Structure 1
């Protein structure tokens, strides 16, 4: 919430200024790369049987990753743009924690997080402009794989699934215009993402056992892109 409050405060401050950062009807395509840092907050792993099959205190986290970015802005007015943002889906490793920390990486998933944002742009100097805004993200998890070390620890072949998630996103950044069309952009975004995970293990003793855990991943994303405006 501190991140959201800071973004709202900055938004309120700049909205009172005269801005000439864009031109209504213009379009901007940006491509580049980003570093994704997760703020993991996990529940404990639970199973569906009611039997003492799962040790207490097992948590999980998502490992930080990098992603290639593609963003598209359409300027509705000189100051406001609608941005569509997406990345090439990275493979994110899932790591056991708490009392199961010795297991290390226990699985992976491909993550797609497209977002739609409204951004307010304003000039800082002759060639330097900035923006701030907010929107909504949709997170989809594909190709969930459970590693062999998890299967050995919990007694059988396992499959996993992660529920899709919809959450807010806030963003702020700055752009430097190299000429009329090309620019370099640095930005920070914060996404709210909850990963509800289920892993089903086919055990030889009692059959299928489903275990669940939830991770508030809430990534911070720091990006650098090159933009072309037309």
Structure 2
């Protein structure tokens, strides 16, 4: 056998051995999925202060980054920018605040339904309240303040529908625990519970 024939034979064997691994590599999806959503924030607006506190509902933008540890298990980080809300007491506006509510969830994705890919998740939310401003009359009469930090649980369910290769339409529902202590003249007078439902619709792409 000539040298060229030997090289050709070895190359053919190497290609034959590598082919299954190449096919497998092509079949494995990227572990990263990025989604953008429009989300409706629907607050529970419950408080124990006797002031009838509430914030306004609104539609806000959201972006999330999911990393798939396996085809079924993923970790998702959910982000937006600080959202400005109106504070009301018994329906009367008394001030404004901003809140930033990043959420981290662990998810299980069901993979036996073809292009339809439902999932459930649970995790933790951290909300930072900032730029809390009360109307001058309210500030002078009550000297109100709120705790700037909130930690709580988050539950999630949703689905991705693959409309084309690596491109998805997403529907997502979350229940998030967001609460803060309310004080007057430095003394706690109760707790305000935002505890919103977050219902979102968006698109996602796997990279």
TM bucket (normalised to shorter chain) is 0.7 to 0.9
Structure 1 unaligned spans of 5+:
1-21, 45-56, 201-208
Relative distance call for 1:81 and 1:221 in structure 2 (3 A) is same
8 Å contact kept, 1:187–1:224 = yes
**Cα distance, 1:182 vs. partner?**
1.2
**Cα distance, 1:160 vs. partner?**
3.5
- Other-structure match for 2:53: 60
- Tell me how far apart the structure 2 counterparts of residues 150 and 187 of structure 1 sit (CA, whole Å): 38
- Other-structure match for 1:105: 93
Superposed counterparts of 1:118-197, under 5 Å: 118-123=106-111, 125-148=113-136, 150-151=138-139, 154=141, 158=143, 160-197=145-182
Deviation per residue, 1:110-136 (Å, 9 max, x gap): 111111111111146432111001000
**What do you get for the CA RMSD once the two structures are aligned?**
2.3
- Other-structure match for 2:16: none
SS at match of 2:138: helix
Structure label with greater radius of gyration: 2
1:96 paired to 2:96: no
Aligned length: 181
8 Å contact kept, 1:40–1:218 = yes
Relative distance call for 1:23 and 1:165 in structure 2 (3 A) is farther
**1:28 aligned to which of 17, 23, 33:** 33
- Tell me how far apart the structure 2 counterparts of residues 68 and 62 of structure 1 sit (CA, whole Å): 18
- Tell me how far apart the structure 2 counterparts of residues 161 and 190 of structure 1 sit (CA, whole Å): 22
More helix, by proportion: 2
- Tell me how far apart the structure 1 counterparts of residues 184 and 60 of structure 2 sit (CA, whole Å): 26
Please give the TM-score of this superposition, normalised by the length of structure 2.
0.79
